[in-house]
Amino acid sequence: MTEFLQQIVNGLTIGSLYALIAVGYTVVYGIVQLINFAHGEVFMIGSFGALATWSVLFKGQTGLWVLPIMVFGAVAVSVLTAVVMERLAYRPLRNAPRLAPLITAIGISVFLQEAVRLFYPGAKSKLTFPEIDVVTGSALAIGGLNIQRAAIFTVGALVVSAIVLWFFVNRTRLGQGMQAVSQDPDTAQLMGINVNRIIVIAFAVGAALAAVAGVAQGLLNSNIDFRMGFLAGLKAFTAAVLGGIGNIQGAVVGGLTLGIAESMATQFIPGQFGGSAWKDVWAFVLLILVLVFRPQGLLGARVVDRA
């Protein structure tokens, strides 16, 4: 029983990471019907932004007070990247066939990876992420379970982000504008809503959450890598589809479900098909099963396909 609960904890940790990234996929898709495959690289750039903030301003400092500023630096860099990406690469293709922005997204993903590899000092190999007091260090033993301190930060970041995002979408004029544009952009524009501005905000919101996930990833693994965005982004996209792409709650549920499924498969599937080497396989098997029996995802999609 203890081992089962331990895997639930592990699954919720990695699932929270997936969920934070998946929300970015689903928010952008809900607004412009675009699968932004470069979103994984926005997550990666967030972690490098946090590391750069620490290296320039606080190198050698490990106090907890440093962490909020690192998160702010990560969010600033990721949001700037996402906004520039939308303005220069996606906006000119807004009325193009869907294949064009999809291929562009893959190109941007490769470009961002190479840009970080070539221009960030030492990024050609893994870089050590700083240890921060309280949120890193020896694991906590609670009721026979080992809980990483960074795991608490990761799950807490998801809870806080989900609450703030819910309030933003449902209780603010900008959030209501996002809902209106997701349902019918032409009518929303006739009603006086600035559609371009709403789309930029959607990219910025997704990037901010991905940046928080980037910091969490650095704290969990103690290192970061310019290739870390590819697989994490792919898993987060899987989580968004699993939960019902276009549905914010679905992205959170999909991320947590995927994380728990991976963790359980790693521990409890016996023989050559078990273990960490097969966790990605079982994650995608779960996605296939859900799409076969419930194509709209676990919670369905609120946004009607306008194509």
Beta carbons within 8 Å of 272's beta carbon, 6+ residues apart? none
Q: How many CA atoms lie within 13 A of 88 on its CB side?
A: 7
Q: For the CA atoms of the chain, what is the radius of gyration?
A: 19
Per-residue pLDDT of the chain (307 residues; tens, 9 = 90+): 788 889 899 899 999 999 999 998 888 888 888 888 899 999 999 999 999 999 999 888 889 999 999 999 999 999 999 999 999 999 998 888 888 888 999 999 999 999 999 999 988 889 999 999 888 888 888 888 888 999 999 999 999 999 999 899 889 999 889 889 988 888 988 888 899 999 999 999 999 999 999 999 999 999 999 999 988 888 898 888 888 887 888 889 999 999 998 888 888 877 777 777 787 888 888 878 887 888 888 886 544 444 3
* Predicted pLDDT of residue 301: 52
Of 23, 202, 255, 234, nearest in space to 109 by CA = 234
Task: Supply φ then ψ for residue 274, to 5 degrees.
Answer: -100, -175
| Three-class HEC string of the chain | CHHHHHHHHHHHHHHHHHHHHHHHHHHHHHHHCCCCCCHHHHHHHHHHHHHHHHHHHCCCCCCCCHHHHHHHHHHHHHHHHHHHHHHHHHHHHCCCCCHHHHHHHHHHHHHHHHHHHHHCCCCCCCEECCCCCCCCCCCEEECCEEECHHHHHHHHHHHHHHHHHHHHHHHCHHHHHHHHHHHCHHHHHHCCCCHHHHHHHHHHHHHHHHHHHHHHHHHHHCEECCCHHHHHHHHHHHHHHHHCCCCHHHHHHHHHHHHHHHHHHHHHCCHHHCCHHHHHHHHHHHHHHHHHHCCCCCCCCCCCCCC
How do residues 177-187 score in pLDDT, each as one tens digit?
Answer: 988 998 888 89
- What interhelical angle do 99-119 and 228-243 show, nearest 10? 150
211 near 68, Cβ under 8 Å? no
* Predicted pLDDT of residue 204: 94
Beta bridge partners of 147: 140
How do residues 244-270 score in pLDDT, each as one tens digit?
Answer: 887 888 889 999 999 998 888 888 877
> What is the spatial distance between Cα 262 and Cα 231, in angstroms, rounded to a whole number?
14
* Predicted pLDDT of residue 303: 47
Of 275, 280, 260, nearest in space to 17 by CA = 260
> What is the spatial distance between Cα 44 and Cα 50, in angstroms, rounded to a whole number?
10
> What is the spatial distance between Cα 183 and Cα 251, in angstroms, rounded to a whole number?
18
Of 153, 129, 158, nearest in space to 53 by CA = 129
> What is the spatial distance between Cα 214 and Cα 219, in angstroms, rounded to a whole number?
9
* Predicted pLDDT of residue 51: 95
